[in-house]
Amino acid sequence: HEWLWRSSSDLGYPAILSERKADVQTFYTTYDKAEMRKIIKKYNISYIIIGTVERSRFGADLQENLLMQLGEVLYTNDVVTIIKVT
């Protein structure tokens, strides 16, 4: 799954992968907690990772504080935050 976050090209993606990539974008950047929960349910997400890739990709749009409200912060340092969804 990581290549969805790290890939920069949409060329040749089947429709389902383009949809998933859009959902990842929405998940990390929306101000709507209900929308985040909808995506969590859709993909059965158990853990949220916020690291250098996510911070670089989403920049000021990254809703880190809102994401941390979705569960228990298991680990955090200057580089990465790991959240267990509750």
d(CA 66, CA 7): 25
Per-residue pLDDT band for 3 (boundaries 50, 70, 90) equals low
Residue 15 pLDDT:
76
Residue 17 burial by Cβ neighbours in a 10 Å radius (0-12, 13-18, 19+): middle
80 neighbors 51 (Cβ within 8 angstroms): yes
Domain annotation covers residue 81 = yes
**Closest of 27, 31, 37 to residue 1, by C-alpha:** 27
26 neighbors 40 (Cβ within 8 angstroms): no
Domain annotation covers residue 42 = yes
Domain annotation covers residue 48 = yes
**Closest of 43, 35, 44, 21 to residue 67, by C-alpha:** 35
Domain annotation covers residue 6 = no
Domain annotation covers residue 7 = no
Q: How many domains does the chain have?
A: 1
Per-residue pLDDT band for 8 (boundaries 50, 70, 90) equals low
Per-residue pLDDT tens digits for 9-60: 555 567 778 899 999 999 999 999 999 999 999 999 999 999 999 999 999 9
Find the domain containing 74 and state its range. Answer: 13-85
d(CA 52, CA 40): 21
Residue 10 pLDDT:
52
